Amino acid sequence: MRQKSMAIGIDIGGTNLRAARISATGEILKRISEKSAPDPELVLGRIADMVHQLDTPEVAAIGIGVPGRVDARRGTVLSGGYVDLASVALAQRLESMTGKPVTIDNDCNMALTAEVARGAAAGHDSIVMFTIGTGIGGAVAEGRRIVRGKATAGQLGHIAVDLNGETCKCGRRGCVETTSSGTALGRHIARAGLGPEITIDQLFARDAAGDGTARGILNAWARPLRAAIDTAVAMFNPDLVLLGGGLGGAAHRALANAPALAPWYQAPVRPALLGDDAGVIGAGLQALAAETRAPHASPLPQPPALPGRVRPAVPARRAVLVNGIPASGKSTISRGISERMGWPLLALDTIKNPFLELLGGADREFNRTLGRASYAAIWSLVGEAPAGSIFVVDAWFGFQPRQVLEDHLKRAGVVETAEIWCHAPGEILAERYRTRLDQRLPGHPGAAYIPELSELAKRAEPLRRGPLFDVDTTQPIAFDTITAWLRTTLAS
C-alpha cells in the first residue's frame, strides 16, 4: 500500500492561479498554472481542473491560499481581495469534486508557512511578513505558529499610515496598501508625470544616476511602508520582518533610503526567498499538517535537514550573482565589478578549466558533472570566508534547479544577494559563441551547441532573487551605474 505523503498546494492570485504537487518536506514535484479570473465559479472550475492534473494516489490532501479574509478554523472565506471567493463554499465544493480533504487559509499565511519551513525565516520563531504585490498582504508567526486572533489576524496591509489618504478597499483611509503596493506605485509614477511603461528597475537605475523624480517616487512608495513596518515591530517585537510577493525584493531595496523611524523598536528586514513558490509550498505543507495533527496544536513545519555539514548563517556574508546564459557577457561584467569594488570573483570556468586542461578534455556529460562540482566548490569557498565578505559569482544559474542554489547559499551562510542579469538577442549570442570556439578548451560544447544556445536565449530568465539589475550587453556597459547600485544595495 502506497503511503500518502504528498499534497497539492494552490495559490490564488489576481493574475495567475498556481498549483503544485508538494512532498512532505516542501519540495515541488510538479507545477502548473492557469490564468486567474474575477468570476469565482470560473476560478473554482480551473482549480478543480488543476487538481485533476496533479492528483496521484500518494496525494493526501489539498491546501489553498486565498486572498482576503479567511477563517481557517471553519474553512470559510469571509471577504475577497482582488479575487473574491466569499460567495463560494470553496473548501466544501472542492472536497466533493475531488474526494480529498481541503485546507484553506489566507494566501500570506501560506507564504509565511513556506518561508518558516524552507525559506528566509527558517530557524526563527517570531516573524512578521508583508507581501507586496497588486495589494499588500501580511502574516505573523509567534513560536512558529500563525497568529490568527479570532479568525483573521495579520492583515498588515491595513495598518493606517495616513488618516487623510486614499480610500482603501477595506473601507478605511490611508492603509499602507494605498501607498506602498504595486497599484500605489503606479499612481506615484503617474502623478510624477512618467508613463506607465516605467519599471521599478528603471526607477532604481534613474535614482542611482541622480534623477530626483525617480528618488521622489521611490521615497513616496517606501516611507509609508517603513512606518507600517515600524508599527508592526512595535506590536510584535519579532526576530525578523520579511518582505515577500512580486515586489518584495524591490521594496526591500527601496527601504535603504527610508531608515527605521523608531530606535526603540528594531528588527532586521529581509526579502523573502521563495518567490512565487511560497504560496503553493505553504499550502501543501499546511494541508499535510492538518492531516497529521489536531488543528493549530503544534508549530509550523521544521525546515528539512540539508545533506552534509550545515554552517551557521553569518548575516554579513553576501554575494553578487552575475547571471546569464553562455556568451551573454557576464564574464566581462563580473571582472569589471570585481576590479572596481575590490570583491573577489568566483566563476565556474575558473574552477573547471584547470581540470579540463589536466584531463585533456571531456565529453559533454562529464563537462556537466564537472560544472556541478565546480558550482559546489564555489559555495564551499564562500562558506570558508570571513564574516563581512562579499563575493562576485559568475555563472548561468539556470543550469541547476533553484533549490540547489538555495541549499548552497544556506550552507555558505549567505543571507543577502543581488543579481545582475546579462542578456542579448539569440543571434548575437550565437555569433559571440561562434567566434570564441577556438579559445575554449576541449570538453566545452562546440559548434553543435549554437542552435541550442539560440533557443535558450528565448526562454532564459533571471532568478529574481532579491534586488535585480538588468544589463543589455549589446549596449556600452555602464559600470559606474552598476557599482553605484551595488553600493546602495549591498555594500552599505
In CATH terms, the superfamily for domain 318-491 is P-loop containing nucleotide triphosphate hydrolases (3.40.50.300)
The CA–CA distances, whole Å, from 140 to 66, 154, 232, 265, 287 equal 16, 6, 9, 17, 19
- Cα–Cα distance for residue pair 463/324, rounded to 1 Å: 10
Q: In this structure, are residues 33 and 61 in contact, taking their beta carbons and an 8 Å threshold? A: no
Q: How many residues does the chain have?
A: 492
User: DSSP secondary-structure letter at 326?
Assistant: T
Give pLDDT tens digits for 329-381. 888 999 999 998 889 999 988 888 788 777 766 565 676 788 888 889 999 99
Q: In this structure, are residues 123 and 313 in contact, taking their beta carbons and an 8 Å threshold? A: yes
In CATH terms, the superfamily for domain 6-113+276-292 is ATPase, nucleotide binding domain (3.30.420.40)
Distance of CA 407 to the CA centre of its chain: 14
Residue 295 pLDDT exceeds 50: no
- Cα–Cα distance for residue pair 285/276, rounded to 1 Å: 15
Give pLDDT tens digits for 9-48. 999 987 789 999 999 999 999 999 999 888 888 888 899 9
Q: Enter the C-alpha cell of residue 96.
A: 466533493
Residue 277 pLDDT exceeds 80: yes
Give pLDDT tens digits for 223-256. 999 999 999 999 999 999 999 998 999 999 999 8
The closest of 414, 408, 410, 327 to 373, measured between CA atoms, is: 408
State the pLDDT at residue 255. 94
User: 6-113+276-292 and 120-271 share one CATH topology?
Assistant: yes
Other Cβ atoms within 10 Å of 387 Cβ, number: 9
Amino acid at 467: P
Residue 482 pLDDT exceeds 80: yes
- Residue ranges covered by each domain of the chain: 6-113+276-292, 120-271, 318-491
| Cα atoms in the 13 Å half-sphere on the side-chain side of 68 | 21
Give pLDDT tens digits for 426-480. 888 888 887 876 665 555 566 766 787 778 888 888 988 889 999 999 999 999 9
Q: In this structure, are residues 336 and 319 in contact, taking their beta carbons and an 8 Å threshold? A: no
Give the three-state DSSP class for 18: strand
Give pLDDT tens digits for 60-113. 999 999 988 888 888 888 876 667 788 788 898 888 888 889 999 999 999 999
Report the CATH fold assignment for 120-271. Answer: Nucleotidyltransferase; domain 5 (3.30.420)
Residue 150 pLDDT exceeds 90: no
The closest of 259, 282, 341 to 121, measured between CA atoms, is: 282
Give the three-state DSSP class for 231: helix
